Amino acid sequence: MKPIWKNSSFRGKSIRLQVFLSHAGVASRRAAEDIIAQGRVSVNGITVKTQGSKVNDGDIVLLDGKEVNLENQRLYLALNKPAGFLCTSNDPQGRPIALNLLPQKDVRLYSVGRLDFLSCGLIFFTNDGDFASRLGHPGCGIEKEYIVEATGIIPDSVVEAFNCGITIEKVYYKAKTAERIDRKSLRIVLIEGKNREIRRVFSHFHLHPALLRRVRIGPVHLGDLPEGVSRPLTDGEITALSSVERKGNVKEGNTW
């Protein structure tokens, strides 16, 4: 049998199936556990649903009938996502997919977190499941900075709501900071990042964001990266991002 993780640090070892799937770029470990439970994975022709099952060098692992191998190279990309693109692997409605903007067509990549269909700006893609799981966790405590432009004048009450906190339909929203750029635009920094938080607060005040662009994630700035273009994260950026812990802290020496 061929070695399925040749040139990998796992060569010659037995590893848990969910760890294997994570390092193969299929999904985070937690998501891989769900995939296994659904009966979508087989090892040497036998469907595996038991968590903690191990894979040995030379075993043949299939996901939905397609062979899965460990990625020898870890990829960490920053994309300036245009509005009108989905952060998903496919769409039944045939809408544009952000993944198709990336130059790496032969590597299984997935997004770290989400930017909704109408939003634009900075988003990461990787084949490192642990990296994606850590940064995508709601409690990781990483800052995300947005520029928001409204179709009309933004009243002071909106800025106050973001800074002091507001409950809308039993959900509490609060930014780390929100400051006015001009009469129709704000700079907002979020940490927890609830689903569509900025849009929900704007809608509560009968406002519509004409532009919602994410310009920073932790130490990584969008800068002058053109829309629809990606770049590899630098070693320094990866080190700083990898230091983020789920409890919301950053290891000593890495702050922003």
Residue 252: inside a domain: no
- 81 and 120 together in one domain: yes
Active-site position among 34, 64, 91, 116: 116
Containing structural domain, residue 212:
144-217
What is the mean predicted confidence (pLDDT) over 177-201?
93
- 211 and 232 together in one domain: no
CATH number reported for the structural domain that contains residue 40 in this entry: 3.10.290.10
- 93 and 113 together in one domain: yes
Residue 179: inside a domain: yes
Residue 233: inside a domain: yes
Query: What SS3 string covers the chain?
Result: CCCCCCCCCCCCCCEEHHHHHHHCCCCCHHHHHHHHHCCCEEECCEECCCCCCEECCCCCEEECCEECCCCCCCCEEEEEECCCCECCCCCCCCCCEHHHHCCCCCCCCEEECCCCCCCEEEEEEECCHHHHHHHHCCCCCCCEEEEEEECCCCCHHHHHHHHHCEEECCEEECCCEEEEEECCEEEEEECCCCCCHHHHHHHHCCCCEEEEEEEEECCEECCCCCCCCEEECCHHHHHHHHCECCCCCECCCCCC
CATH number reported for the structural domain that contains residue 126 in this entry: 3.30.70.580
**Banded pLDDT at 9 (limits 50, 70, 90):** low
- 212 and 223 together in one domain: no
- 202 and 172 together in one domain: yes
Residue 10: inside a domain: no
**Banded pLDDT at 8 (limits 50, 70, 90):** low
- 121 and 238 together in one domain: yes
Is 116 part of the annotated catalytic residue set?
Answer: yes
Residue 203: inside a domain: yes
CATH number reported for the structural domain that contains residue 170 in this entry: 3.30.70.1560
Which tens digits make up the pLDDT trace of 20-32? 887 776 777 778 8
Please give the mean pLDDT across all residues of the chain.
85
Across 108-117, 175-184, 208-217, least confident range: 108-117
- 154 and 175 together in one domain: yes
- 111 and 229 together in one domain: yes
Residue 251: inside a domain: no
Q: Tally the C-alpha atoms within 13 A of residue 233's C-alpha that lie toward its C-beta.
A: 26
Report the percentage of the chain scoring pLDDT > 90: 54
Locus of tokens 């532009």: 211
Residue 4: inside a domain: no
Domain tally for the chain?
3
**Banded pLDDT at 110 (limits 50, 70, 90):** confident
Residue 116: inside a domain: yes
- 131 and 225 together in one domain: yes
- 175 and 191 together in one domain: yes
**Banded pLDDT at 71 (limits 50, 70, 90):** low
C-beta atoms surrounding 107 within 10 Å: 14
- 59 and 165 together in one domain: no
pTM: 0.73
- 148 and 211 together in one domain: yes
